[in-house]
Structure 1
Amino acid sequence: MKHCLVFNYGSSTLKYAFFKGLRKLRTATLKAKSVEDCKSIVREVLRTAQRVDLIAHRVVHGMDMDSPMLIDHAGLQKLRELTLFAPLHNTLALAGVEVCIQELPHVPQYAIFDTSFFKDLPFTSRAYALPTELYQKGVKRYGFHGISYSYLLQETARLMKKRVNTLNLIMLHLGSGASVCAVQKGKPIDTSMGMTPLEGLVMSTRAGDLDPGVVLYLLKMGKTPEEVESFLYKECGIKGLTGDGDMRRLIEDARKGVRDAEKALSLYVYRIKKY
């Protein structure tokens, strides 16, 4: 029976789990906000592992990839190309993959993409109202948290004792990153995130839906594209409104009557209700 190691790279944590067949042996969630954090954690996990036959990595952005990808030489190059579309998440995953290649070069590795769940989104949900040539070059809505939504869909069907293809659902993924997804007859028909994980709901450090004019304004004020990118991924959302992106602290402060926390929580909830 194969021993499998699974890594899940989030925007603020790194989760891992060991499986023997389908049986979970061990799991942990650790804070990891930088490439160096990820490399250190992955290296330590591999060091303490007694046996690893296969490694699977959650990768946030896979563009139009509709199935898991073997990470061979070509697969590794593809992962490097994909960091352009989700720099916060894919860069962390790439760092973990490269450590695994260094430490266990003969163990097969696979990338499992969040975006694959949304591969059949209808055009009305997939497209932006931009020139067609941009759509053909990949400028379109992909959706994220697909692995989470796939699990929710299957588990809901099990609990309700219904077939997946009979379910009409509104599902939410609420963490440091947050999104909402609509499912009709077991298939996703819309979602709040778009070409990148920046679109949609208010998040821990991301603003969600934003007038593109704000980006133009920041560029005209002298910020570089790299500075704007870092700002939008790391300094907005709940953190921008209150100075701290921790949702647990936000809720505690709101309960205590801290005005900035109350306003931020109201905005967070309003955006969810709006969707």
Structure 2
Amino acid sequence: MRILTLNYGSTNLKWAVFEDDVRSEAGRCEATDDAQLQAAVQEILRSRLGRSGPNAVDAPSTRTSAPAAYSPKAFPADELPATPQPPDAVVHRVVHGGRLERPAVIDAAVLQEITRATAFSPIHNRRALIGIHAAERFGVPQIAVFDTAFHATLPDVARTYALPRELRDRGIRRFGFHGLAFSSTLQQTADVLGTAAADINAILVHLGGGCSVRAVEGGRSIDTSMGLTPLEGL
């Protein structure tokens, strides 16, 4: 199976193609505004599917201008082969999954929950929604994976804020982020140690544009320095 993955940063887009578990292609481009992001997603899909999508796509919550013209500088020729094999699915990284705690095939209900959670992660979730909408008319199944899903195992003592119950009942709690990166780090650590991820007890640290710390016990997230939004961290 061939999977195309799209990872939305605040100013760029990273993409990769996986043949089963092996990465066969990868690249990144600058995409600092909505129009650039739409154009980037559409160009990546056109290059792999061999057919055109819409010339312009409505971004969630607002209408964007038509995508900017494709720039060869954004996608070096060696990153976009001329005759690629089409992917079987497109997988989008979504930072905040809200109540969604596992990967999900994108449908109306999933889109609604991602949109609802955008209030707590306005930059990254919004960009993911733009990418999803830009890709939806290409006829390829789309899947969302969530950074917050890694922390679905947080115990109540770690996920609960010292707030009135009425606020907690409305879903105000600690979620945790950087989950996909931590999941990868956990598996790589297990591989290096020659053991199963489920046997790992560790403190994991993510250092980048955003920074955070995780406590993992038995391969499961049990505490995090992040919370309801990605603004918490270190």
TM-score by length of 2: 0.80
State the partner residue of 1:147.
Answer: 180
- 2:226 aligned partner, one-letter code: M
Q: Distance in 2 between matches of 1:131 and 1:121?
A: 20
State the partner residue of 2:167.
Answer: 134
How far 1:3 sits from its partner (Å)?
A: 2.0
Q: Is the 8 A contact 1:35 1:91 kept in 2?
A: no
1:181-196 matched pairs, under 5 angstroms: 181-196=214-229
How far 1:15 sits from its partner (Å)?
A: 0.8
Once the two structures are superposed, residues 179-229 of structure 1 have per-residue CA deviations (whole angstroms, 9 ceiling, x without a partner) of 11111222111111110000122xxxxxxxxxxxxxxxxxxxxxxxxxxxx
State the partner residue of 2:98.
Answer: 63
Q: Is the 8 A contact 1:12 1:176 kept in 2?
A: no
Q: Identity of counterpart residues, as a percentage?
A: 43
Q: CA-atom RMSD, angstroms?
A: 1.4
State the partner residue of 2:26.
Answer: 27
Once the two structures are superposed, residues 12-69 of structure 1 have per-residue CA deviations (whole angstroms, 9 ceiling, x without a partner) of 3211001222222210122333322321211111121141220100000012312111
State the partner residue of 1:45.
Answer: 44
Q: Distance in 2 between matches of 1:34 and 1:127?
A: 35
Q: Across the two proteins, how many residue pairs are aligned to each other?
A: 198
1:78-89 matched pairs, under 5 angstroms: 78-89=113-124
Q: Is the 8 A contact 1:118 1:188 kept in 2?
A: yes
How far 1:114 sits from its partner (Å)?
A: 0.5
One of 109, 114, 121 as aligned partner of 2:142: 109
How far 1:117 sits from its partner (Å)?
A: 0.5
Once the two structures are superposed, residues 84-111 of structure 1 have per-residue CA deviations (whole angstroms, 9 ceiling, x without a partner) of 1210100000000000013x1x211010
- 1:12 aligned partner, one-letter code: T
Q: Distance in 2 between matches of 1:173 and 1:3?
A: 29
- 1:117 aligned partner, one-letter code: F
158-167 or 109-118: bigger deviation: 158-167
Q: Distance in 2 between matches of 1:12 and 1:178?
A: 17
Query: CA, structure 1 residues 21+162, in 2 after alignment: closer, same or farther (shift >3 Å)?
Result: closer
Greater relative contact order (CA < 8 Å, ≥ 6 in sequence)? 2
Q: Is the 8 A contact 1:57 1:97 kept in 2?
A: yes
Task: Report the 3-state secondary structure (helix = DSSP H, G, I; strand = E; otherwise coil) of the residue aligned with 1:18.
Answer: strand
Q: Distance in 1 between matches of 2:226 and 2:32?
A: 21
In the alignment, is residue 7 of structure 1 matched against residue 19 of structure 2? no
State the partner residue of 1:16.
Answer: 15
Q: Is the 8 A contact 1:53 1:107 kept in 2?
A: yes
State the partner residue of 2:56.
Answer: none
Query: CA, structure 1 residues 81+131, in 2 after alignment: closer, same or farther (shift >3 Å)?
Result: same
Deviating 4+ runs (over 4 angstroms): none
